[in-house]
């Protein structure tokens, strides 16, 4: 039994006590119940009773069909009986009642015991003769097996009673803790979380973002293309408009002026950025204004060093609204980093094929500048073909680089090194 369960086993469940009062006093009202039983027990009791068909009617006097009184008494009596039985340590096997009490919160708590019975089998018995009191071999390696030395030396006994040396701790990984914080921040901005896929078509990862098909970022050095059949493009109805934007542009813009290839767009790849989720989600939602975000993994053909990873997470997001502009974007970036405790963030002009203007977010670590991510306002060649007619401000920020700042790391690889010393002692923010 939990705290409440113990209490109600003694004094009676609120719904039982309230019910007894109501049937004994025909003038009972919600008000008089509240006076006698107090706010919180009245709340519990009335919602439980409502499920059994007992509701205040008309003036707030209760009406209960007389033929149901006994039935309700039985249900409540049985509930009370079970609680009392549990408080006396009796084992309750009625699954449905247990599930019911668990759903109600503090009445009962569950604890799980696992008993495992282990017995040696025939193979075990056959090999037991190689385990010797004086055995010295603790590990099976190809050399030990090939040399046959194990027959002579024997294996060391396995001491099941040896004390466990590892400290068991149940703290979330530092990166997870940071992700949770970020999640909270964007939810508090009123943004909704979006998600995408590791495997994407070049179309959604690049073409829909107006990245020309001969762009250097498409080459093997940056993108992991996948072997395998070409992909069906999600939402094929937009292909024509995207192709036209690349080849001929849109009203007032000339486009890239080359022959766009559907074959290239159908190639499967590991997404290089989560901006693919942003553009597809805005198209799918077709809602304005709207803010979206995600914290998900991307893949890049990078050589790994102190500030580069080939698998990393991006804090992605966008705000699509009539009033979205460069000031909104600057404010959002400053506010986001500010809430994590970093006010020393700089914004510098940058370039992405899909934004104009574009800005990078930069911080300083150990006197060295480090780029935290990119942002900008989507170009009309990106938004118009997808039917998005208001400005979109968007960003894609590196999670692990932020973690470097957050945890004071001078090497990004440390995050994934599973160094127990660090995992146990990282500075908590």
Residues that bind ligand PHE (CB under 6 A): 273, 275, 352, 355, 358, 373-376, 394-396
Say what the alpha-carbon torsion angle 409, 411, 413, 419 is, to the nearest 10 degrees.
Answer: -50
Strands 268-270 and 290-299, how do they pair?
Answer: unpaired
Q: Which residues of 341-356 are buried (b: 16+ CB within 10 A; e: fewer)?
A: ebeebeeeebebbbbe
Q: Please identify which residue in the block is written with the tokens 């995992």.
A: 423
Q: Please identify which residue in the block is written with the tokens 């309230």.
A: 18
Closest CB to ligand PHE among 14 and 396? Answer: 396
Closest CB to ligand PHE among 101 and 210? Answer: 210
**Minimum distance between the CB of residue 398 and ligand PHE, rounded to whole angstroms?**
8
**Minimum distance between the CB of residue 193 and ligand PHE, rounded to whole angstroms?**
17
Closest CB to ligand PHE among 56 and 374? Answer: 374
Q: State the Cα angle at 296 between 382 and 232, rounded to 5°.
A: 55
Closest CB to ligand PHE among 28 and 269? Answer: 269
What φ, ψ does residue 361 adopt, rounded to 5°? -100, 130
Closest CB to ligand PHE among 48 and 383? Answer: 383
Strands 290-299 and 192-193, how do they pair?
Answer: parallel
User: How many CA within 13 A on the CB side of residue 116?
Assistant: 2
**Minimum distance between the CB of residue 380 and ligand PHE, rounded to whole angstroms?**
15
Closest CB to ligand PHE among 48 and 275? Answer: 275
**Minimum distance between the CB of residue 376 and ligand PHE, rounded to whole angstroms?**
4
**Minimum distance between the CB of residue 280 and ligand PHE, rounded to whole angstroms?**
13
Closest CB to ligand PHE among 56 and 376? Answer: 376
**Minimum distance between the CB of residue 243 and ligand PHE, rounded to whole angstroms?**
22
Q: How far apart are the first and last CA of the chain?
A: 37
Alpha helices in 52-113 (DSSP H): 66-87, 95-103
Closest CB to ligand PHE among 37 and 210? Answer: 210
What number of residues does the chain have? 429
Closest CB to ligand PHE among 260 and 352? Answer: 352
**Minimum distance between the CB of residue 138 and ligand PHE, rounded to whole angstroms?**
49
Residue 198's alpha-carbon distances to 86, 215, 271, 412, in angstroms, are: 50, 21, 6, 22
C-alpha span between 395 and 291 (Å, rounded): 12
**Minimum distance between the CB of residue 157 and ligand PHE, rounded to whole angstroms?**
56
DSSP H/E element including 335:
helix 326-339
**Minimum distance between the CB of residue 104 and ligand PHE, rounded to whole angstroms?**
47
Closest CB to ligand PHE among 106 and 350? Answer: 350
**Minimum distance between the CB of residue 378 and ligand PHE, rounded to whole angstroms?**
7
Residue 269's alpha-carbon distances to 60, 216, 277, 287, 310, in angstroms, are: 65, 15, 14, 28, 14
**Minimum distance between the CB of residue 298 and ligand PHE, rounded to whole angstroms?**
7
* Nearest residue to ligand PHE, by Cβ distance, number only: 396
Closest CB to ligand PHE among 273 and 313? Answer: 273
Q: Which residues of 365-402 are buried (b: 16+ CB within 10 A; e: fewer)?
A: eeeeebebbbbbbbbbbbbbbbebeebbbbbbbbbbbb
Cα 152 to chain centroid, rounded? 54
C-alpha span between 184 and 295 (Å, rounded): 12
C-alpha span between 160 and 158 (Å, rounded): 6
Alpha helices in 189-324 (DSSP H): 202-205, 239-247, 262-265, 275-285
């Amino acid at each position: 039994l939990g705290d409440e369960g113990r209490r109600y086993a003694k004094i009676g469940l609120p719904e039982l006590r309230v019910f007894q009062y109501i049937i004994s006093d025909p003038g009972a009202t919600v008000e008089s119940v509240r006076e006698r039983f107090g706010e919180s027990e009245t709340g519990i009791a009335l919602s439980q009773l409502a499920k059994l068909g007992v509701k205040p009617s008309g003036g707030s006097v209760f009406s209960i069909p007389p033929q149901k009184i006994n039935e309700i008494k039985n249900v409540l009596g049985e509930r009370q009986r079970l609680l009392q039985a549990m408080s006396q340590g009796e084992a309750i096997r009625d699954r449905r009642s247990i599930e019911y009490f668990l759903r109600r919160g503090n009445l009962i708590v569950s604890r799980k015991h696992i008993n495992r019975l282990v017995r040696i089998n025939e193979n075990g018995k056959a090999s037991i003769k190689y385990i010797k009191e004086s055995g010295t071999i603790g590990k099976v390696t190809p050399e030990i097996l090939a040399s046959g030395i194990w027959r002579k030396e024997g294996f060391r006994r396995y001491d099941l009673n040896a004390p466990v040396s590892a400290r068991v701790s149940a703290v979330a990984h530092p990166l997870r803790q940071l992700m949770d914080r970020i999640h909270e921040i964007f939810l508090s901005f009123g943004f909704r979380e979006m998600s995408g896929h590791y495997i994407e078509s070049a179309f959604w990862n690049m073409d829909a973002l107006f990245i020309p098909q001969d762009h250097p970022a498409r080459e093997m050095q940056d993108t992991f293309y996948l072997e395998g059949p070409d992909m069906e493009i999600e939402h094929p109805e937009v292909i024509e408009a995207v192709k036209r934007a690349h080849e001929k542009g849109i009203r007032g813009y000339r486009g890239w002026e080359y022959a766009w290839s559907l074959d290239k767009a159908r190639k499967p790849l590991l997404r290089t950025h989560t901006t693919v989720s942003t553009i597809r989600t805005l198209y799918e939602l077709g809602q304005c204004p709207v803010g979206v975000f995600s914290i998900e993994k991307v893949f890049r053909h990078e050589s790994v060093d102190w500030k580069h990873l080939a698998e990393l997470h991006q804090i992605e997001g966008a705000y699509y609204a009539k009033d979205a502009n460069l000031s909104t974007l600057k404010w959002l970036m400053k506010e986001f980093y500010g809430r994590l405790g970093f006010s020393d963030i700089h914004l510098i002009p940058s370039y992405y094929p899909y934004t104009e203007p574009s800005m990078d977010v930069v911080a300083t670590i150990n006197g060295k500048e480090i780029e935290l991510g990119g942002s900008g306002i989507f170009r009309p060649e990106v938004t118009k073909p997808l039917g998005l007619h208001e400005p979109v401000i968007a960003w894609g920020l590196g999670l692990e680089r932020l973690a470097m700042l957050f945890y004071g790391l001078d090497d990004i690889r440390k995050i994934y090194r599973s160094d127990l010393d660090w995992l146990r002692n990282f500075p908590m923010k």
